[in-house]
Structure 1
Amino acid sequence: MGTLASALALAQQALMANQTALNITANNVANQNTPGYTREVATWTENDSVTIGNVSVGQGASIGAAASQRDLILEKRVQQQTQVQAQSQSLEDALNQVQSIFGLSSSSTSASSTALGTALNGFYNALSSLTANPSDSATRQKVISAASNLVGAFNSTSNQMAGVASDLDKQVSGYVDNVNGLLSTIATLNQKISNSSPNSDAGVLEDQRQQAIAQLSQYIGLDQITNENNQITLTTTNGAVLVSGAQSYAMSTSQISGQTHIMAGIPPQDVTAGLTGGALGGALEARDQLLPQYQSSLDELAYQIGTQVNQVNAQGLDGNGNPGAAIFQLPGSANGAAVLIGMATTDPQSIAAAAVGEGSTGTSNALLLAGLANGATVSGQTPLDFLTSLMGQIGNAAASASSDNTVQQATLTQLTSQRNSLSSVSLDEEAANLTQYQRAYQAAAKIFSITDELMASAINLGVTTSVS
Structure 2
Amino acid sequence: MSSTFGSLSTALTGLNAARQGSAVTGQNVANAGTEGYTRQRIQTSAIGATAQTGLFAGGPTAGQGVSIDAISRLGDSFLDTRVRATASDAGYAAARAEALLKLEDIMQEPGENGLSAKLQDVWAAWQNVANDAGEAAPASVLLEEAGALAAQLSHGYAQIEAQWSAGRTQLDSLAEELNAAAAQVAELNGEIRSALNAGSPANELMDKRNLLTASIASLAGGEVRDAGDGTLEILIGGNAIVSADSFRPVQLTGGYRMQDAAAAPVQLEWAHRPGSPIALAGGTIAGALSVLAPAATNGAGGEVAEAAASYNAFAGQLATAVNSVHRTGQTPAGTTGHDFFAFRPQLPPALGLTIVPADISGIAAGAPGSGGRDGSVADAISQIGVAAGSPDGVWASFVTKLAVTARTDIQRSELAAAANASAVNMQLSSASVDLDEESVNLLTYQHAYQANARVMTAIDEMLNVLINQTGLVGR
Common fold by TM > 0.5: yes
Q: Could you tell me which residue of structure 2 aligns to residue 361 of structure 1?
A: 373
Q: Which moved more, 1:82-91 or 1:309-318?
A: 82-91
- 8 Å contact kept, 1:143–1:348: no
Q: Which amino acid is the alignment partner of residue 69 of structure 1? A: L
CA distance in 2, matches of 1:183, 1:464: 75
Quick check: 2:225–2:233 contact (8 Å CA) kept in 1?
yes
In the other structure, the counterpart of 1:107 is none
Cα shift at 1:279: 2.2
The residue aligned with 2:8 is 8
Counterparts of 1:359 and 1:22, CA distance in 2: 104
Is the alpha carbon distance of 1:280 and 1:2 closer, same or farther for their aligned partners in structure 2, counting shifts above 3 Å? closer
Residue 347 of structure 1 and its aligned partner are, at CA, apart by 3.0
Q: Quick one: which of 355, 359, 364 aligns to 1:343?
A: 355
C-alpha displacement at 1:101, in angstroms?
0.9
Displacement of 1:462: 4.5
Give the stretch that moved more between structures: 148-157 or 292-301: 292-301
**1:315–1:60: structure 2 CA closer, same or farther, 3 Å change rule?**
same
Q: Which residue of 2 aligns with 1:84?
A: 89
Residues 409-462 of structure 1, C-alpha deviations (whole Å, 9 max, x = no match): 221121111111111111111111000000001001111111121222223464
Structure 1 unmatched runs, 5+: 105-109
Query: Structure 1 159/18 Cα, relative in aligned 2: closer, same or farther at 3 Å?
Result: same
Aligned with 1:225: secondary structure? Answer: strand
Q: Structure 1 residues 210, 268: closer, same or farther in 2, change over 3 A?
A: farther
Separation in 2, partners of 1:397, 1:464:
99
Describe the superposition over 1:150-183 as per-residue Cα deviations: whole angstroms up to 9, x where unpaired.
Answer: 1111101111111111111111011111111111
Answer whether contact 2:342 2:354 (CA < 8 A) is retained. yes
Aligned partner of 1:447: which letter?
V
For 1:375, the equivalent position in structure 2 comes to: 387
Alpha-carbon deviation of 1:16? 0.9
2:323 aligned with 1:310: yes
Contact 1:318 1:324 in 2 (8 A): no
Aligned match of 2:296: none
Report the AA paired with residue 404 of structure 2. Answer: N
Deviation at 1:92, TM superposition (A): 2.0
Q: 2: CA distance between counterparts of 1:328 and 1:270? A: 45
Counterparts of residues 245-264 of structure 1 (less than 5 Å)? 245-256=244-255, 257=260, 260-264=266-270
Residues 223 and 234, structure 2, Cα contact 8 Å, conserved in 1: yes
- Give 3-state SS (helix, strand or coil) of 1:147's partner: helix
Query: Are 2:447 and 1:443 equivalent residues in the alignment?
Result: no
1:55 to 30, 47, 59: 59
Superposed, 1:240-279 pairs within 5 Å as 240-256=239-255, 257=260, 260-264=266-270, 266-271=272-277, 274-279=279-284
Per-residue CA distance 1:390-425 (angstroms, 9 max, x = gap): 222233333323222221122112111111111111
Amino acid in structure 2 at the alignment position of 1:13: T
Moved more, 136-145 or 277-286: 277-286
Partner of 1:206: 206
CA distance in 1, matches of 2:234, 2:344: 47
Instruction: Give the aligned partner of residue 226 of structure 1.
Output: 226
Residues 64 and 435 (structure 1), Cα distance of their counterparts in 2 relative to 1, 3 Å cut? same
Which residue identity is paired with 1:127? W
8 Å contact 1:241–1:266 — kept in the other structure? no
- Write the letter of the residue equivalent to 2:367: A
Q: CA deviation at 1:203?
A: 1.0
Instruction: Find the aligned partners of 2:467 and 2:243 in 1 and give their Cα distance.
Output: 65
AA aligned to 1:176 is A
**What's the counterpart of residue 33 of structure 2?**
33
Contact 2:222/2:280, CA 8 A, preserved across alignment? no
CA deviations on 1:221-277 (whole Å, 9 max, x unpaired) are 2222222422222222x22431121111111233343664432265244426x3342
TM (norm. structure 2) is: 0.89
2:469 is the alignment partner of 1:456: no
CA distance in 1, matches of 2:169, 2:66: 59
Paired AA for residue 182 in structure 2: L
Q: How does 1:16-415 map to 2 (within 5 A)?
A: 16-52=16-52, 53-57=57-61, 58-104=63-109, 110=110, 113-197=112-196, 202-236=202-236, 238-256=237-255, 257=260, 260-264=266-270, 266-271=272-277, 274-288=279-293, 289-330=302-343, 336-377=348-389, 382-415=390-423
Cα separation, partners in 2 of 1:18 and 1:75, compared to 1, 3 Å: same
Contact 2:189 2:231 in 1 (8 A): yes
Q: What SS is found at the alignment partner of 1:197?
A: helix
- Which secondary structure does the structure 2 equivalent of 1:76 belong to? helix
| Match for residue 420 of structure 1 among 403, 415, 428 | 428
Could you list the per-position Cα deviations for residues 111-148 of structure 1 after superposition, in whole angstroms to 9, with x for gaps in the alignment?
Answer: x6343122111111111112212111211222222211
Provide, for residues 56-95 of structure 1, a one-character-per-residue CA deviation record: whole Å limited to 9, x for no partner: 4222221122000111121011012112112222222222
Letter in 2 for 1:455: L
Counterpart residue identity of residue 445, structure 2 = Y
CA displacement at 1:383 relative to structure 2 = 2.7
Residue identity opposite 1:98 in structure 2:
L
SS in 1 for 2:4: helix
Instruction: Please list the CA deviations of residues 321-369 of structure 1 after superposition, one character each: whole Å capped at 9, or x if unmatched.
Output: 0013111113799x93212222233232222112233222222322221
The correspondence for 1:434, drawn from 438, 442, 448, is 442
Distance in 2, Cα, partners of 1:403 & 1:463: 91
Instruction: Work out the CA distance in 2 between the residues paired with 1:243 and 1:296.
Output: 40
For 2:185, the aligned partner's letter is I
Aligned AA for 1:83? S
RMSD: 2.4
Could you tell which deviates more after superposition, 145-154 or 53-62?
A: 53-62
Check whether the contact 1:310–1:326 (CA below 8 A) recurs between aligned residues: yes
One-letter amino acid matched to 2:19: Q
Greater Cα offset, 385-394 or 173-182: 385-394
Q: Separation in 2 of the partners of 1:130 and 1:240?
A: 66
Distance of 2:83 and 2:175 partners within structure 1: 22
Percent sequence identity over matched residues? Answer: 23
1:67/1:131 CA distance change after superposition, 3 Å:
same
The residue type equivalent to 1:254 in the other structure is T
